[in-house]
Amino acid sequence: MNWRKSLKGKVLAQEPLKKHTSFRIGGPARFFIEPSDIDDLRFLLVQAKRYKIPVTVIGAGTNILASDRGLKKIVLHLSARCFQKISRDGNRLICGSGVSLAKVVSSAREHGLSGLEFLAGIPGTLGGALAGNAGAWGREVGSRVKEITVMDHSGAIKTLERKQIKFAYRSSGLAKYVILEAVLKLCRGNRPRIRKKISAYLSARRNKQEYAFPNAGCVFRNPSAAGAAGALIDLCGLKGVSAGGAQISLRHANFIVNTGSASAANVLALMREAAKKVKERFGVDLQPEIKLWF
């Protein structure tokens, strides 16, 4: 395929996705591509459309369960420097989508800007957080967005104001685009106070979250009225239940961990088991929060 030779960025064929997901699970992607800049990205999207090869974006892979058989797609990774920039303009932080959420939070802190502290400890990139409207402690990243610049799959760039974006619980409607950059609107704050809040959020997380084994965070969304998915799974007595190398975390029942050699099929089996038991006992339908790449 000639288009591959014309790309300036890195192109890997049959790249194992397990190398790029926090679960350490996933078969080969047809192509794993890191465009070198915006023009390279546009060229890639146009060619992919021309040759009818589906494209999907991966951030840090912390919210994905990828099939053991892999993906017949181009998996795009925005690692180039142009997607990693952060700058400040008054009370606003302008961030590339490839920047880690940890860096966004620490940059806001260093600039004395408050409003993102609740995101401390959520792994992944800003792009992934915006696509899934990541949140914690009753707050969501979407609430801090002023505007987002995206590229559509024809290579056209547009800027969306927050009111044009359908932010909802763990969704944004942005998955149909490649998110390039966001302007986050914050407030001036006192640096020591911001630091203190971040430390409090981090230690609250350390007390309840799973760190011992690879995982992808909460596998199910919290059902709106019925309480936390983890509490319902726990009440069904499923903590510690395993399938192959996958196990429902002993620490947090909405986490599934890879104890060493878990397959995507193992994780799915546990998800089905948990969903079935919760439905039988509480009549509640659990919906996946992690993205299933099958």
Ligand X SMILES: Cc1cc2nc3c(=O)[nH]c(=O)nc-3n(C[C@H](O)[C@H](O)[C@H](O)COP(=O)(O)OP(=O)(O)OC[C@H]3O[C@@H](n4cnc5c(N)ncnc54)[C@H](O)[C@@H]3O)c2cc1C
Judged by the rule CB under 6 A, the positions of this chain that interact with ligand X are: 22, 56-64, 78, 97, 122-125, 127-129, 131-132, 134-136, 174-175, 177-179, 209, 215-217, 291
We find the least distance from the C-beta atom of residue 23 to ligand X, in angstroms, to be 8
We find the least distance from the C-beta atom of residue 280 to ligand X, in angstroms, to be 27
Comparing CB distances to ligand X, the nearer of 209 and 242 is: 209
We find the least distance from the C-beta atom of residue 83 to ligand X, in angstroms, to be 8
Comparing CB distances to ligand X, the nearer of 20 and 111 is: 20
Comparing CB distances to ligand X, the nearer of 153 and 279 is: 153
Q: Which helix (H) or strand (E) covers residue 88, if one does? A: strand 86-89
We find the least distance from the C-beta atom of residue 1 to ligand X, in angstroms, to be 23
Comparing CB distances to ligand X, the nearer of 31 and 177 is: 177
Cα–Cα–Cα angle for 211, 288, 169, nearest 5°?
Answer: 90
Comparing CB distances to ligand X, the nearer of 175 and 187 is: 175
How far apart, in whole angstroms, are the C-alpha atoms of residue 54 and residue 74?
Answer: 6
157-161 vs 145-151, strand pairing mode: antiparallel
We find the least distance from the C-beta atom of residue 57 to ligand X, in angstroms, to be 4
Closest CA to 46 of 120, 131, 152, 124: 152
How far apart, in whole angstroms, are the C-alpha atoms of residue 30 and residue 268?
Answer: 22
Alpha helices in the chain (DSSP H): 2-6, 38-50, 101-110, 126-131, 191-208, 229-235, 264-282
C-alpha R_g of the chain: 19
How far apart, in whole angstroms, are the C-alpha atoms of residue 29 and residue 20?
Answer: 11
